[in-house]
Amino acid sequence: MHINMKIATKYIVALVLLVSFVSCQNNSRPNYQYMPNMYESVGYETYQESDAFKNGVEAQLPAEGSIPRGDFMPFEIENTNEGFAYAKANLKSPLDSLQVDYTEGKILYDIYCGICHGNKGDGKGKLVQREKILGVPSYDDVGRAITTGSIYHVIYYGKNTMGSYANQLNETERWQVVAYVEKLKADLEK
Amino acid sequence: MKKSYQSLEDNSTYYMKQVIYRSLTSRIVSLCFALLLAFSTSLTAQEGDPVNGKSLYNSNCAACHKLDKPMTGPALRNVEARLADEQGLDREWLSAWIRNSSSLIKSGDAYANKIFNEYNGTPMTPFPQLSDQDISDILAYTAEEKKEPVVVESNTNEGASQQGGVSNDIILGALALLFGLLAMALVLVNRTLNRFAKAKDIEVFTAQEKRTPLWKAFVQNQFLVLVTAIIFLLASGYFVYGYFMQVGVDQGYEPVQPIHYSHRIHAGDNGIDCKYCHSSARVSKTSGIPSLNVCMNCHKSISEVAPETLAEGTEYGVDYNAEIQKLYDAVGWDGTGYTGDSKPVKWIRIHNLPDFAYFNHSQHVEVGGIECQTCHGPVEEMEIMYQNAPLTMGWCINCHRETNVKVKDNEYYTKIHEELSKKYGVEQLTVAQMGGLECGKCHY
């Protein structure tokens, strides 16, 4: 009898200890590391904090007017109503019919635009169906009468509540998407 | 008027069929009925149908107009009554405005120009396709009373993790209490049994006096001591090894982020593609955390979550609307425009390889065609992001040994693949066979 008692209490103590050990594990803090100096280089990491600049981050905006390397053409049409009207009337795609690649256009379109505009371009994307975002037009909307240039302008600068996609798509990708949108528009108008 | 026509037709065919059977009186009655029906539908038609109006409004106007708050354009609740009261403008003006506001502005209409300038010359899209009926439907919808939002109880004071901690503590406390009670019960049972035994004059068997105590017997048996010692050493070696091996491995790391951002809601429920936000995963080494302008592509319009979503939030102990407000504070958005007063959000980095290891996203995602979820786990179910994989070297190597290189439709690989598959005598090359185990590929 006595021995049983002792064993029982021992088990209980062991269990309580184990449970308390396990519960000490904390997932909201990173684990210990062996030699952190091998893990973190002296060089800056992207977006690292640093006192080198006034706003306290290592990553800074490029200086005003800087352009990327390679064959880059600045987009000179302004983000104004006049600019929009100008682009709508005059801007043309630099891609010729051989460079247009609807498969690539579709992949990009489905990632960035389909969520609102719908993968068919009818203005019924998933967010619209769930009534999270309203008022997304169909590409064959007569009042808007979108053109090559206006689509590009909208992707580049956004329009009213639609934001700009210039930082997610590079220049050729934007023109691929424009071509694909025009194809969707033509399909809708059939 | 199409509607009322139709109902008249329907009724008249009904009536025609009945001619054969019914008397004149019933004919007159049904004729009256038909007329009444036609009349009443034409009445409502003039008034506008708010249900149809709502769907028209949502698909055409809601991009720029909210009912109760100015957005790109002014708030439209009761706009017809408001304009009639304040400006003396009638339905005709409204129709002209909605069909083509810019020509109305050009015509020099005073109020049209005033409101146009008030909204910094933002043009409203023309809607020539809307019929009179459509416009009165829309206006009927805007004239509806405001529905009071459903109040959802939420306890915003406790953060999600805090709550998790509290409930854990409670469970642990309860367990400890249970163990305590068990121990006490055992002691009590033992005592009463002893007392019974004494009362009945049964001698309780006590080992101490007659035999050597157990521990002494144990100590005297050297073989047993040896075996126990070995087992003990092995066991503690196992645990110590396990402990040392997990140092530096952050599997399961789940920090509290400055904005409670839920992948479950965005990537799961709303099905937003991972690359919409992590767009550089397509083209570069890093996936990156989206900058806040990407968030604003949607959150310019989504300033509050739906009541159902808000109710889900109470399960996790967060007030989603307050979290969106944090986003607005960080980008400096006051509901209609940017104030220019922004501050960066300090997201806490979760997945982080040591600097001596090189990992490239576009190579794995675009070229290798691997799904994000293979490495990052069920992201679309994560309310709070955590690290799913250990990210150890063994983990990388294992996958490179098991996974085949996707050579199809990739010209770059045609020659390499031919040569190597001849060398190894296989059809499908694994990453390891292509050189994915060479130290220099991952360590520089």
CA of A92, closest CA in chain B: separation in Å? 23
Residue pair B377/B389 in contact (Cβ under 8 Å)? The answer is yes
- What are B147-154's contacts with CB under 8 Å, separation 24+? B149/B307, B150/B307, B152/B307, B152/B310, B152/B311, B152/B314, B153/B314, B154/B310, B154/B313, B154/B314, B154/B319
Other C-beta atoms lying within 10 Å of the C-beta of residue A183: 17
Q: What percent of chain B has pLDDT over 90?
A: 30
User: Are A143 and B128 an interchain contact pair (Cβ–Cβ within 8 Å)?
Assistant: yes
Per-residue pLDDT reduced to its tens digit, B342-357: 888 889 999 988 888 9
CA of B162: which chain A residue's CA is closest?
A28
Report helix, strand or coil for A46.
coil
Which residue carries 């390889």 as its tokens?
A: B353
Q: Contact at 8 Å (CB) between B242 and B326?
A: no
Give the domain ranges of chain B: 50-142, 167-206, 213-247, 263-391, 402-444
* Count of pairs with CB atoms under 8 A, one residue in A, one in B: 157
CB atoms < 10 A from the CB of B144, how many? 13
In this complex, is the C-beta atom of B393 within 8 Å of any C-beta atom belonging to chain A? no
Cα torsion A85, A91, A93, A96: sign = positive
Cα B422 to Cα B424: distance, rounded to the nearest angstrom: 6
Q: Can you give the pTM of this predicted structure?
A: 0.77
- CA triplet B347, A45, A48: central angle to 5 degrees? 45
Interface test mutation site (partner A, options B355, B361, B391, max chain A beta carbons within 10 A): B355
pLDDT digits (tens, 9 = 90+) for A3-30: 566 666 667 767 766 655 554 567 888 8
Secondary structure (H, E, C), A47-115? CCECCCCCCCECCCCCCCCCCCCCCCCCCCCCCCHHHHHHHHHHCCCCCCCCCCCHHHHHHHHHHHCHH
Distance (Å, rounded) from C-alpha B231 to C-alpha B3?
89
Residue type, B16: M
CB B181 within 8 A of CB A8: no
ipTM over 0.90: no
Alpha-carbon span A91 to A170, nearest angstrom: 17
Contact B127, B46 (CB under 8 A): no
Asked if the Cβ–Cβ distance from A40 to B355 is below 8 Å, we say yes
Instruction: Count the helix, strand and coil residues of chain B and give each as a percent rounded to the nearest 5.
Output: 60, 0, 40
Tens-place pLDDT, residues B205-244: 555 556 778 888 888 888 999 999 999 999 999 999 999 8
Q: How many helices (H) and strands (E) does chain A have?
A: 8, 0
- B-chain residues near A81 (CB < 8 A): 121-123
> What DSSP state is assigned to residue B21?
T
Cβ of B64 within 8 Å of Cβ of A115? The answer is no
Set of chain A residues whose Cβ sits within 8 Å of the Cβ of B175: 19
**Which residues make Cβ contacts (< 8 Å) with residue B84, sequence separation at least 6?**
B90
What is the domain class of B50-142 according to CATH? mainly alpha
B391-406: per-residue pLDDT in tens? 999 999 999 999 988 8
- Subunit contact B296:A163, Cβ cutoff 8 A: yes
Q: Which amino acid is at B328?
A: Y
Which residues in chain B have Cβ-Cβ distances shorter than 8 Å to A12?
A: 179, 182-183
Q: Nearest by CB to A23, which of B172, B273, B275?
A: B172
Q: Show residues of chain A in contact with B126, CB under 8 Å.
A: 143
Q: Which residue of chain B is at minimal alpha-carbon distance from A133?
A: B301
Name the phi and psi angles at B204, rounded to 5.
-75, 135
- Residue B301: strand, helix, or coil: coil
- pLDDT value of position B343: 85
Q: What is the pLDDT of residues A126-172, one digit of tens each?
A: 999 888 888 899 999 888 889 999 999 999 999 888 999 998 998 89
Instruction: For residue A32, give the amino acid letter.
Output: Y
CA distance B196 to chain A (A): 14
Dump pLDDT digits (tens) for B99-154.
Answer: 888 888 888 888 888 888 878 778 888 888 888 888 888 888 888 877 655 444 44
What's the rounded Cα separation, in Å, for the pair A61 and A121? Answer: 34
Q: Do A163 and B168 touch (CB under 8 A)?
A: no
pLDDT for B210 equals 64
* B contact residues 4-43, partner A, Cβ 8 Å cutoff: none
Crossing angle of helices B24-47 and B2-19, in 10° steps, is 170
Is residue A188 a contact partner of residue A117, using CB atoms and an 8 Å limit? no
Beta-carbon neighbour count of residue B76 at 10 Å? 23
Residue of B66, B211, B216, B276 to mutate, interface with A, max A Cβ within 10 Å: B276
* Helix (H) or strand (E) run with residue B435 in it: none
